[in-house]
Amino acid sequence: MFKIVEARNAGLNIRQFVIEAPRIARKQRPGQFVILRVKENGERIPLTIKSADPAAGTITIVVQGIGKTTSLLNCLEAGDAILDIVGPLGHPSEIEKYGTAAILAGSVGTAMALPTARALKEADNHVIFIEGARNREMVIFEDEVRAASHEAYMMTDDGSYGEQGLVTKKLEELLAAGQKVDFVLAVGPVPMMRAVARMTAPLGIKTMVSLNSIMVDGTGMCGGCRVLLGNESKFACVDGPEFDAAKVNFEVLMQRNAMYREQECQSMKAFNEHREEELAQLRASVESREKEAAALRARLAAQGETHHV
């Protein structure tokens, strides 16, 4: 079990959790993610590690509630626990001294891009962070974005905060004003990453995108996260999640991400009808597992053994 030590709202429908996971905290690098399961028989979902504190043995994740599992997870509070967490998974972001690096992040993608932005700044790049959100309530982690960059721009679709327009509008303006950009990382909804790729490819700017394909095992075995780069198949979990934007087939990614839409909608509808029962069941099962673990620890201690349970 992985105990939640802190839970707080970060934006509209977006929650941040600090979770005890000492081994993952020691090993994680920017760009890596975990796969977690909230409960027995629950689905396994990938989430990026926003930060880690190896001394405290904790990792921080940020979750946008969009379907059943993320919505259930977002009901949890400090003191609750998550059944299992596997990680760190995936290749870390490639950190080099590119020169000027522009980070374009949409919605929860801001949390996902922050560790890479910090690492690029530490590697002596000039970091420009462009955060996009639908409206003011969805602008997240502005202070951290400003600290992780040399220049930060907040864009909202409706103009309720920062400047009005999409993240691509700001990049276009900067490029038109003669800003030299040597590297771009785009993390956000698929249409946004595709729009960034279409803008930077003709200019020859090296651009990476963090692909949000559906994942199951996270080990390259199930094929669930298959993505197409030109004619080549890759697995986002082990070959990514970051890929060269110019090669990604975004249409195939969209088709594959929509494959289970009907089941996802049914599952969300059922969850909304039985939200309280689901949460109560989850908490009861955590309590009974904790009791089992405590009993096992007591038995082992009585036998003079000191295994970690």
Summarize as ranges the residues that interact with ligand FAD (CB under 6 A). 33, 43, 45-48, 61-64, 66-70, 108, 111-112, 212-215, 236, 241, 257-258, 261, 264, 267-268
Q: How far is the CB of 238 from ligand FAD (least distance, A)?
A: 11
211 makes contact with ligand FES (CB under 6 A): no
Span 13-32, contacts to ligand NAD by CB under 6 A: none
Instruction: Give 81 or 138: the residue with its C-beta nearer to ligand NAD.
Output: 138
Rounded Cα distance between 102 and 245, Å, is: 14
Which of the choices ligand NAD, ligand FES, ligand FAD, none does residue 216 contact, using the CB cut-off of 5 to 8 A by kind?
A: ligand FES
- Using CB under 6 A, pick the residue from 167, 225, 237, 245 that binds ligand NAD: 167
90 makes contact with ligand FES (CB under 6 A): no
Rounded Cα distance between 141 and 11, Å, is: 9
Task: Candidates 85-93, 140-148, 166-174, 280-288: pick the segment binding ligand NAD (CB under 6 A).
Answer: 166-174
Which of the choices ligand NAD, ligand FAD, ligand FES, none does residue 258 contact, using the CB cut-off of 5 to 8 A by kind?
A: ligand FAD
91 makes contact with ligand NAD (CB under 6 A): no
Q: Tell me if 215 sits within 8 A of 225, measured CB to CB.
A: yes
- Give the SS3 label for residue 108: coil
Q: How far is the CB of 268 from ligand FAD (least distance, A)?
A: 6
Q: Which of 34, 39, 89, 41 is nearest to 58 (CA)?
A: 34
Q: How far is the CB of 212 from ligand NAD (least distance, A)?
A: 3
Q: Containing H/E element for 101?
A: strand 100-106
Q: Any bridge partners for residue 185, and if so which? A: 103, 208
CA–CA–CA angle 244, 247, 252 (5° rounding): 115
Q: How far is the CB of 148 from ligand NAD (least distance, A)?
A: 17
| Backbone torsion region of residue 79, taken as left when φ is above 0, otherwise alpha when ψ lies between -120 and 50, otherwise beta | left
149 makes contact with ligand NAD (CB under 6 A): no
* Dihedrals phi, psi of 207, to nearest 5 degrees: -135, 130
- Using CB under 6 A, pick the residue from 5, 12, 83, 222 that binds ligand FES: 222
CB burial string 159-173: b at 16+ within 10 A, e below: eebbeebbbbebbee
Q: Is omega for the bond preceding 88 within 30 degrees of 0, making it cis?
A: yes
> Any idea how long the chain is?
309
In this structure, the number of other CB atoms found within 10 A of the CB of residue 147 comes to 14
- Binding pattern to ligand NAD, positions 195-214, x when CB under 6 A? x--------------x-x--
Number of residues that bind ligand FES (CB under 6 A): 12
Q: How far is the CB of 47 from ligand NAD (least distance, A)?
A: 9
Rounded Cα distance between 33 and 89, Å, is: 5
Q: How far is the CB of 258 from ligand NAD (least distance, A)?
A: 11
E strands present in 178-231: 183-187, 206-210, 226-229
Q: Which of 114, 181, 192 is nearest to 146 (CA)?
A: 114
- Using CB under 6 A, pick the residue from 79, 99, 159, 223 that binds ligand FES: 223
Q: Which residues bind ligand NAD (CB under 6 A)?
A: 64, 66, 106-109, 112, 132-134, 155, 157, 166-168, 187-189, 191-192, 195, 210, 212
Q: Contact residues for ligand FES (CB under 6 A)?
A: 215-218, 220-225, 235, 237
